[in-house]
Amino acid sequence: MTSRKYFGTDGIRGTVGQGPINPEFILKLGWATGKVLAKGSGSLVVIGKDTRISGYMFESALESGLAAAGVGSLLLGPMPTPAIAYLTQTLRAKAGIVISASHNAYPDNGIKFFSGDGTKLPDEVEAEIERYIDMPMETVPSEKLGRAKRIVDAGGRYIEFCKATVPNTMRLSGLKIVVDCAQGATYHVAPSVFRELDADIIEIASSPNGLNINLDCGATKPQALSTSVIENEADLGIAFDGDGDRLIMVDNKGEVVDGDEILFIIARDYLRHGRLQGGVVGTQMSNLGLELALKTLGIGFARSKVGDRYVMSKLQEKGWVLGGESSGHIICLDKTTTGDGIVSSLQVLAAMIHSGLSLHELKKGMEKLPQTMINVAINPDADRQALMANEDVSKAVSLSEEDMAGEGRVLLRPSGTEPLIRVMVEGKNIDKVNQHAEAIAEVVKAQC
């Protein structure tokens, strides 16, 4: 991977006013983006954002930086991340910029990018943007400055796109659905999508004020959704995160249906209708139950590193169309170019319509296996990769996997933000899972 100074696994993110997440840096970032992604007179870049209050400030800074580089801006206002990917393509823009910190609280914000074809930027392109950030900023002559234009029908365009990902004949009549918009970017589009398909919709967390995004709601905190489904005797609930690329569902009994179960439901429906190309991509954290359930259906399964960009890379490598993460990032490449919460939820609803089964019944095809995670503190200066490759640690992992005899697995993973090694064990027998997790953790501790 190309070394990057500012970009993380999903753009640039942090607390507003600290580090790079300040107006001065974002202005320079807009200019650098214009220089790298949108060279040439008349070039356009799409800018969208979620609902956090700092988005207005950073929208203006990006617009100014792009203009200084001679690049025009198409301003979408608050829109889901996948909508920005879609509109970048349909508006024939050179790139798309999303101002969002996804599932984080409002004091944070971030910037992520899409190329002109609606996919995330390769590492080498991000590295080139960083190279320009460290250069002196130069403004083009006044006659070549970029202009800004607000796209007033962005929401309507995206709503029609979402509906087009399911058959024209599909109706949700008779379904009562609670929709949790996380006080985020889906608040003005998701309810309309489901209503226009004839569902009876109950909205929660759909009144953003700039400060309440992801606050005790949304895909990362589905408790309120579960409660609302039970209280309203709804058929199911759908929760998005702040920027709308993540999805978690709740069945009619108030039970959470996570990304692994959603992926299984969609994969089985695709298989039954001849639309599954190849297998399914999950991540190192995908539950073993997903892999085993897909195996019973004859569906191949491959794991990528954690992160939707790595799921996407593995899908492209294999030529497959369906992948996702336990957290609810689901990618349907036959429908769109990136993870899309609304589009993914529609595929689950289509599976319900096709089968005549409830969400609770559909998820029964996959049995999630017990999983235990132990965080082992290590010296901040320790070589994490060397520690995980240690002979004693490797032996302990091998012994555990042999004992579980194909009915369990072990994953050692360094934390990206803390001095920790995460020891994860999952399998059919919870007692064995706990026993092996504790044993491996003790061996890791002994090497620190």
- Tell me if residue 102 is catalytic: yes
Q: How far apart are CA 222 and CA 249, in angstroms?
A: 8
pLDDT at 1: 45
What's the rounded Cα separation, in Å, for the pair 346 and 165?
Answer: 8
Contact by Cβ (8 Å): 144, 38: no
CA 323 to CA 91: how far, in whole Å?
27
Cβ atoms of residues 344 and 305 within 8 Å: no
Q: Given this model, what pLDDT does residue 416 score?
A: 65
Six-digit token pair at 146? 């970029």
- Residue of 43, 73, 102, 206 marked catalytic: 102
Task: Give the DSSP letter of residue 368.
Answer: P
Q: What is the domain partition of the chain in residue ranges?
A: 12-152, 158-363, 371-447
Partners of 177 in the beta sheet? 201, 236
* CB of 141 closer than 8 Å to CB of 66: no
Lay out the sheet containing 408-414: strands in order across.
Answer: 371-377, 420-427, 408-414
CA 181 to CA 52: how far, in whole Å? 13
125 secondary structure, DSSP code = H
- The enclosing H or E element of 111 equals strand 108-115
Architecture field, domain 371-447 = 2-Layer Sandwich (3.30)
* Buried/exposed code over 9-32 (b: 16+ C-beta within 10 A; e: otherwise): ebbbbbebeeebbbbebbbbbbbb
Instruction: Report the CATH fold assignment for 158-363.
Output: Alpha-D-Glucose-1,6-Bisphosphate; Chain A, domain 3 (3.40.120)
- pLDDT by residue for the chain (448 residues), tens only, comes to 455 788 887 789 999 999 999 999 999 999 999 999 877 556 999 999 999 999 999 999 999 999 999 999 999 999 999 999 999 999 999 999 999 999 999 999 999 999 999 988 888 888 999 999 999 999 999 999 999 999 999 999 999 999 999 999 999 999 999 999 999 999 999 999 999 999 999 999 999 999 999 999 999 999 999 999 999 999 999 999 999 999 999 999 999 999 999 999 999 999 999 999 999 999 999 999 999 999 999 999 999 998 888 999 999 999 999 999 999 999 999 999 999 999 999 999 999 999 999 999 999 999 999 999 999 988 887 888 888 888 999 999 999 989 988 788 999 988 766 788 999 999 988 999 999 999 999 999 888 7
Relative to beta strand 408-414, strand 12-15 is unpaired
Q: By the 8 A CB rule, do 163 and 137 touch? A: no
- Dihedral sign computed on CA atoms, order 311, 312, 317, 322: positive
Residues 6+ apart with CB under 8 A from 180: 204, 205, 217, 218, 219, 222, 224, 225, 228, 237, 238, 239, 240
Q: Which residues pair with 200 in a beta bridge?
A: 176
Superfamily of domain 12-152, CATH level 4: Alpha-D-Glucose-1,6-Bisphosphate, subunit A, domain 3 (3.40.120.10)
Are domains 12-152 and 158-363 of this chain identical in fold? yes
**In this structure, what DSSP letter does residue 407 have?**
S
By CB neighbour count within 10 A (0-12 exposed, 13-18 middle, 19+ buried), where does 63 fall?
buried
Main-chain dihedrals φ then ψ at residue 390, nearest 5 degrees: -55, 140
